[in-house]
Amino acid sequence: MIHSLPNLPYELNALEPIISRQTLEFHYGKHHQTYVNNLNQLIIGTRFEDVDLLTIIKEADGGIFNNGAQVWNHTFYFEAFSPSPQKVPTGKLLQLIEAKYQTFEQFKDTFSQKAVTLFGSGWAWLVLTPNGELDIVQTSNAANPLRDGLKPLLTCDVWEHAYYLDYQNRRAEYVQRFWDIVDWKMVESRL
Ligand code: MN
């Protein structure tokens, strides 16, 4: 199976000024593409050569896991954005958020804190647990909550390459602006 870089559902400049064209040229065009290329090279001659990406994430280790998970994580991250997003959750997802975090604002504060305080490179995730509740988890490097039986609904990439061109060291500002482009219609569709 040849893995490929998915098309973005918007133009490279569509998320400006929150995420610049230059950041997407590197983050999507170089970093994401490189994970795809590395994965396609690494799986040759292994038992992962003909399996789908989810199987790789659940079963692989080392470089195949790292590159496969990074392909999946970045696609999941980029596809949650829209230049004209639905700015708030509705329906069942809103009910779940209010059941766990009281208000959408308190949910965003909790998620933002998890994203800002993650040490080093990694991801902050909103997930659905096996018992049907929401949770917010941090993962380091390429790690993905699917590996722990959790269902990802939204992620924020806090590797420096995600924000350094636009925000330099100011991760908290990047995370704050992140909320302005998250499309809750997409997040709801993942529930
Ligand atoms: Mn990234």
Ligand 1 centroid from CA 88, angstroms: 24
Q: State the Cα–Cα distance between residues 76 and 160, nearest whole angstrom.
A: 18
Residue 140 β-bridge partners: 122
The answer to whether 159 and 121 are in contact (CB under 8 A) is: yes
Domain positions in the chain are 21-79, 91-189
Ligand 1 centroid from CA 58, angstroms: 20
**Hey, is 95 helix, strand or coil?**
helix
CB burial readout 7-27, b (16+ within 10 A) else e = ebebebebbbebbbeebbebb
Ligand 1 centroid from CA 90, angstroms: 28
pLDDT at position 16, please?
Answer: 98
Ligand 1 centroid from CA 92, angstroms: 29
Burial of 149 (0-12, 13-18, 19+ CB in 10 A): exposed
pLDDT at position 1, please?
Answer: 82
CB burial readout 157-182, b (16+ within 10 A) else e = bbbeebbbbbbeeebeebbbbbbebb
The list of the chain residues with pLDDT below 50 reads: none
Q: Name the nearest CA neighbour of 5 among 61, 55, 66, 78.
A: 78
Ligand 1 centroid from CA 27, angstroms: 6
**Which residues in the chain belong to E strands, given as ranges?**
122-128, 134-140, 151-157
pLDDT at position 109, please?
Answer: 98
Ligand 1 centroid from CA 35, angstroms: 10
Ligand 1 centroid from CA 99, angstroms: 31
Ligand 1 centroid from CA 101, angstroms: 27
> What's this model's pTM, rounded to 2 decimal places?
0.97
Q: Which CATH superfamily is domain 21-79 in?
A: Fe,Mn superoxide dismutase (SOD) domain (1.10.287.990)
pLDDT at position 143, please?
Answer: 98
pLDDT in tens, 114-158: 999 999 999 999 999 999 999 999 999 999 999 999 999 999 999
CATH class, 91-189 region: alpha beta
Domains 21-79 and 91-189 share a fold: no
- Cα–chain center distance at 31: 14
